[in-house]
Structure 1
Amino acid sequence: MGMSPDVRPQNVPAQQQSWPGRTSEMDPRPDHGEDGYTGRERLVGKRALITGGDSGIGRATAIAFAKEGADVAVAYLPEEQVDAEETRAAVHAVGKECVLVATDLRTEQANLELAAAAVDALGGVDVLVNNAGFQMAHTGGITDFPSGQLEQVFETNVFASFWLTKALVPHLGPGSSVIFTTSIQAFDPSEPLLDYAATKAALNNLMVNLAAELGPKGIRVNAVAPGPIWTPLIPSTFDAAKVQDFGTDTPLGRPGQPVEVAAAFVFLASDEASYVSGTVLGVTGGRAVF
């Protein structure tokens, strides 16, 4: 892959942002592979739709896909336009197409429109990365759970992934790949992420069922389960004290960088993973995924 992220144990400075967070305000700035990732022509000719591709893991995946030879469409919330344009600039810098589609994915109609826009703009879709996600830490317990948060988390994380996959399956041919972003939270849930952890477990289950259903069509379905990765979601959904300790409880002693997760998506989207389906690939800094 040809990248060399800082692998030394490190603490992130205490910081906090309003949701959904901005990459430019993060300290240190996340590594999306703009400079360090070297492609190996593993996705030449492929067309990918990536949700939540404006920042974090989604941005790193878009950049890595482009450096591997793919054209991409990126879905993002309208309020994340600035970050999305940075993603597009990074993809264009390596000579690949990047189509931006601003949308809130919390309705089935929005996902139908997104699928149609991506297929039209790219001439088809070969890889779907269901990556968009929402979390908000809550320490008050279930009896004090905020009204409306459960709906927002499930609509964003589970319903949108279901609806978008449903809309795109008719356009996917043999050799296509569907990849879900799940989480270490599906296996080792944290109490402040009660609802978020449940959505990630649901996505793992959905992935297994879809792998069984779509396998006879030659469509592979897998998931990537990140651990603590340094993205705008972290300072915008945790308090400053939690951010300062972020990732230090892993065996590797540090948070991961988005580019380190993108490599897993590249593998699963590539023809090198032609016999890999129905599995979860953990990128967790040493925390167990099983």
Structure 2
Amino acid sequence: MKQSDTYSIGILGSKWGEEEKKRWLLRQEVRRSYKKEVLSKLEPLKEGFDVEQYGELSYDAGKYPLFVVKNRKWDSNKATILVTGGVHGYETSGVQGAIRFLETKAELYGKQFNIIVAPCLSPWGYETINRWNPNAVDPNRSFYEDSPSEEAATLMRYIAALELKLTAHIDLHETTDTDNSEFRPALAARDGSVHNNWNIPDGFYLVGDTENPVDEFQKAVIEVVAQVTHIAPPDEEGKLIGVELSQEGVVNYATKALGLCIGFSGAAFTTTTEVYPDSPLVDDENCILAQVAAITGGLDFILETV
């Protein structure tokens, strides 16, 4: 029996081989421009920040330079903050929220922190509006040694080479309706597993780390974001995306075991944002502002308490 009940590629119950991955890749097409929507916005930042290329992805679809933006007044006595966006390239406000933070807030916070922002880890995913990279690998399940994801491996090498201790790592994401209509069915087909349709939370929420939940930090972020957009309520089972709430708007994952981006950094304060851009209560600008609020809310908490 074919996988057509849930996805158009593969045989039900069987993992994809190289042929299925090639068929999937042939279906992908460029739908927007990394150069126009991301790289062009980094150019003006060079006046006040160090914009540094930390690697390049080379796929058959093209070469994609990868950049970080750092404040110039680097001081080893300051706490160092990492902000990542576009680990999943299709999650637009993660990328644009990181850039907006640089455009509007980073200079101010750079007086008190060393700031590193990697605004778009997955440029091919950004252009094709995709969760995976061209090899059908999810970068946000690949932050571990000998990673199969160039996107994850390149960032990890860069951060390791800096030889510094991160105080905070804020990773900017979205949960979209296409998670259920496209990406989870594709995942089930690729892995030969069962696809469970999760409820998509209507609103903003955070994913913390079960090993280091830093509850007060998460609470502070939620409180600031709630001034900008609505926080996702729990479903009828009291959960978000199938996970028990640890507090309002927050669930915790085993981030290191799952290979999530915030799991690799070893930062004292970590969180993954999840914006819901398909809500009738928000628009693109509101989603971007929510991401910026999450960053500033976390940094203000650190300034006030650490």
Structure 2 length-normalised TM:
0.37
Is the radius of gyration larger for structure 1 or structure 2?
Answer: 2
Q: Would you tell me which structure has more strand in proportion to its own residues? A: 2
Whose helix fraction is larger, Structure 1's or Structure 2's? 1
